Amino acid sequence: MNAPIRIEHVREHGGWLDRYTHMSASCQCAMTFSVYLPPQAEFGPVPVLYWLSGLTCTDDNFRVKAGAQRYAAELGLVLVIPDTSPRGSEVPDDPAYDLGQAAGFYVDAERSPWSTHYQMHRYVTQELIGLVEAHFPVRPGVRAISGHSMGGHGALVLALRNPGLFRSASAFAPICHPSACPWGVKAFSHYLGEDEAAWRAWDATCLIEDGASAPPLLIDQGTADEFLSEQLHPEDFSRACARRGVPLTMRWQADYDHSYHFVGSFIGEHLAWHARALQAAEAASGAVPKGPVQERTA
């Protein structure tokens, strides 16, 4: 596996925010991702959280707008932030914002012309994780995942499709039932084909209905979200979890919209929740002693 090439190096909150590029075997193009290494990473491997961004985003949106690095520094979490899709002149695209580049939907596309490059599920769950664990100071297997909107869909689906890969999963305003919303129907029709039965394997609500096991789950949803009624359908996911007895913490946040103002308001709580879940999982496996989340001191 070739080492990623660092193209940006910024000091933040006692740690380093870096950006890397590498040639991806999964997506058959150059891919970009960002990594925040907290101060604790200078002294040994630490847990890692993968963040998946939403429609129209790159890795830059989260690292600039969410304010997550401050909390990651306090908690000792590495943040890994991939791009939302393959990119480049050779990569198929569409004029609309909700298909093609910046709209990969974290699926492995099966239809031409998308199938050659749009392999975002395989990229994140296999190639990127392998790259990170080979080249960065993270504890192997001590992983969490989170995301926003399309990335929230991705975080839930990647966790549900890959039991044990992530110790916890959370989402902000996720597309919970893409088979039943315009964004998802459009993307799935192009990437996966017209057979709606095949879509179930990429739909968080359907995966729960069909018996998928889940790590601890946390969802925050704003009540003033402009996409709530037509695109997101969190109630469908919540009902499916309740019917199957899957533990879900579902938090409705009054008056919050779909923006990074919403994400930034609660990202610290999400990272602390993940840090506790990761520590509990390690303690249960005997990897570390039980105790409070280790926070950085001045």
For the stretch 254-265, pLDDT in tens is 999 999 999 999
SS3 of 187-202: the string is HHHHHHCCCHHHHHHH
229-240: pLDDT as tens digits: 999 999 999 999
Return the pLDDT at 283: 87
Domains of the chain by range and CATH? Answer: 5-284 (3.40.50.1820)
32-84: pLDDT as tens digits: 999 999 999 999 999 999 999 999 999 999 999 999 999 999 999 999 999 99
What b/e sequence results for 94-131 when a residue is b if at least 16 CB atoms lie within 10 Å of its CB, and e otherwise? eeeebbbbbbbbbbbbeeeebeebbbbbebbbebbbeb
pTM of the model: 0.95
Question: What number of residues does the chain have?
Answer: 298
Return the pLDDT at 86: 98
How do strand 15-24 and strand 29-37 relate by DSSP bridges? Answer: antiparallel
d(CA 104, CA 98): 9
* Positions marked catalytic: 149, 225, 258
Q: Are 202 and 157 in contact (CB under 8 A)?
A: yes
